[in-house]
Amino acid sequence: MKQRPKGQRTRAAILAEAARFATVEGLEGLTIGGLAEALRMSKSGLYAHFGSKQDLQLATIASARETFVAEVFVPALDAPQGVARLLAVCDAYVCHIQRRVFPGGCFFAVAAADVGTRPGAVRDAVAAQQRDWVELLEQLARKAIELGELEPGVDPAQLAFELNAILMSASTTFVLQGDAAVLDRARAAVGRLVPVVS
C-alpha cells in the first residue's frame, strides 16, 4: 500500500486530534490557536493547513465523518443484509461510544448541539451527516422489510428515527454518567424496538 505524502499524514493527524478536541470544547471552541496549543504546534504551522477557523471546522467534520464510517458502518458490513446488519450498525455505534473513539461521545451529537442554532456552512455540514446517518438506518430497515425479516407494517422512517433517538441518548448519558450500564440499556432498547418476524 502506497504511503501518503508527509504533508497529508500531518494534516490527517491534526484533523484526528481536532475531532477529539471538538467533542470536548465544541466546534465553536475549535480554533487554530486553541488547537495549536493542544498539539504544541505553532499557529503558523496550522495556518499552512487551514486558512481560517471555518476551514478547520469543515475539515474536522469531514475527518470525523470518515472516522464514523470506519468505526460504525464498515464493521456492520460483515453482517448479512437485513435485520442482522441493522442491529450490527446500531451495536457498532454503541461500541464506538464505549471505546471513547471521541472523548466527548458521538462527534455529531456534540456538534449538532453546538452549532444547531448557527446558520452557515458548518451547521449545514453537520446536518448533512445527521441526515445521511438516519437515511442509512432507514435503508437498512427497508432492506430488512424487503427480506421479510421485520413485522409487516413497520414504517422504516419511524424505526430509523427511534433507533437514532436511542443511540444519541445513550451517547449523551454515557458521557455524563460514565456508566457502561447505559450502553447495555441502549442495546436492550434497540433489540426490543426491532420487531423481528419469528
Q: What's the pLDDT tens digit per position in 55-84?
A: 989 999 999 999 999 999 999 999 999 999
What is the rounded (10 degree) CA torsion for 45, 48, 50, 51? 120
- Residue 82 gets which letter from DSSP? T
Count of CB atoms situated within 10 Å of the CB of 96: 21
The grid cell for 84 is 442482522
The confidence score (pLDDT) of residue 4 equals 59
Helix ranges (H only) for the chain are 6-25, 32-39, 43-47, 53-68, 74-76, 83-98, 107-115, 121-146, 156-177, 181-193
* For the chain, domain boundaries: 6-193
Give every CB contact of residue 24 below 8 A, 6+ residues apart in sequence.
Answer: 103, 104
- Three-state SS at 196: strand
d(CA 98, CA 167): 12
pLDDT tens for 104-124 read 999 999 999 999 899 999 999
Residue with cell 441502549: 186
What is the pLDDT averaged over residues 29-39? 82
Write down the pLDDT at residue 13. 84
Lowest-confidence pick of 26-40, 54-68, 127-141, 158-172: 26-40
Query: Is-above-0.85 flag for pTM?
Result: yes
**CA 91, CA 74: separation in Å to the nearest integer?**
12
CA atoms within 13 A on the CB side of 145: 14
What kind of architecture, by CATH, is found in domain 6-193?
Orthogonal Bundle (1.10)
| Mean pLDDT (the chain, rounded) | 91
pLDDT tops 90 at residue 31: no
pLDDT-derived band of residue 10, with 50, 70 and 90 as boundaries? Answer: confident
